[in-house]
Amino acid sequence: MDNIQIFDRKKSSYHNEQVMGENALRFLYDQGWARRLLLPLFTRSKWTSALFGWLQKTKRSKRKVGKFIDQFQINSNEFRKPIDEFTSFNDFFIRQLKEEARPIDLGSARLVMPTDGRILTFQPFIEGEGNEEEGIFVKGEVFSLFELLGEDPTLYEKYRGGALMICRLAPIDYHRFHFPCDGMLTEPRLVGKQYFSVNPIALTKNIHALSRNKRFISELKTDQYGDMAYVVVGATNVSSVVWTAEFNKRYKKGDEAGYFQFGGSTVVLVFEPGRVEFDRDILSHTEQRIEVLEQLGQGIATLQS
C-alpha cells in the first residue's frame, strides 16, 4: 500500500497520514468488483450516509469517543468541555475549542486558514489541456472549476485564471469552518447530488468528487481581497452542513461560519485573478503533490503586489 505523505507546517516535518477505516477503503477502491458492486452502496448512497450520520447522534455512540481520541492522539486539552460531557460521537465531532487553541493571525495583510485541514494551493489555477502542470490531474482527468461553481457561467468567468485553495478535512479534525478574512458572506446556493468520499484514497481515484458532491456555493465580499467563492463540500457520511453565521452580514477574520456534522469533507476557496499571493512553501509542496497540514488561524497568503 502506498503511504499518504503530509507536510505538517507547524512542526516543519513530514508524516504518513492515518486514514480512518483505511483497509476497508482500499478494498472498496482497489478491488474492481468491490468498486462496482459495493462502493455505490457504502460511499455514494444518500440513505446510507443519512443512516450512518443518525447513528453517530445516538447516546450509544458516545462510547466510541474515548477510544477514537486515544487511537488518533487528539489533544483533549483543547476542548471547551470535558470528554465525559459529550452526549454522542457527533457531539464530540462538532466540538468547540478553547479560543487560545487556535490563535488567529490578525496581521492586516494575511489571509488565514478557515479551518483545520490539509491544503493544496494553485496560483494561477488553469484548467489543463494535456499539460500536467496546468490544473489538478488524477489519472489523466482534470478538475473542473466550471463544475465546482455549479456550472454558473458568470461565476466561472469571474474566477477563472485566479487562485484556488482546496482544504480537505479528515474525521480526526476540528470540523468548524471560519472566515479567512473580514467580509460579508452571501446566501449559499445548494448544488450537486452525489455523496462521493473525499478521503485521500478516494480522491486519487476520482478528483471529480469535489465538483459533483452536494455542496454550498457562497461568495465572501471583502475589502482587501475582492470577492472570493467560498465552497463547502459535503461527502460520504456527512449528514449535513450547519451554518452558524447569518448571511449578508459582516464578520471579522476568525469568526465562525458553520460546521460539518459527522464525516470528512472539504472547503474550497477560489479567488479572482491578481488578488492573493499564497506562501511560497505551500505552493512548492503542491507542485510536489504533497498536502500541507495547517490549523485554523494560521497565515497562508498575502495581497498580491
Could you confirm whether 265 is annotated as catalytic? Answer: yes
What CA–CA distance (Å, rounded) separates 240 from 235? 9
Of 227, 239, 265, 285, the active-site residue reads 265
Of 178, 182, 218, 239, the active-site residue reads 178
List residues bridging with 256 in a β-sheet.
Answer: 178
Do residues 121 and 283 lie in contact, with contact meaning Cβ atoms separated by under 8 Å? yes
DSSP string computed for 104-140: ----TTEEE-SSSEEEEEESS----SS-TTSS-EETT
Neighbours of 118 (CB within 10 A): 22
Give the gyration radius of the chain's Cα atoms: 18
| Structure-block grid coordinates of residue 114 | 478557515
Could you confirm whether 178 is annotated as catalytic? Answer: yes
Query: How close are the terminal C-alpha atoms of the chain, in Å?
Result: 43
Of 116, 173, 182, 227, the active-site residue reads 116
Do residues 172 and 19 lie in contact, with contact meaning Cβ atoms separated by under 8 Å? no
3-state secondary structure of 24: helix
| Structure-block grid coordinates of residue 305 | 503586489
| Structure-block grid coordinates of residue 255 | 469568526
Report CA 250 to chain centroid distance, whole Å.
23
Could you confirm whether 116 is annotated as catalytic? Answer: yes
What is the set of active-site residues? 116, 178, 265
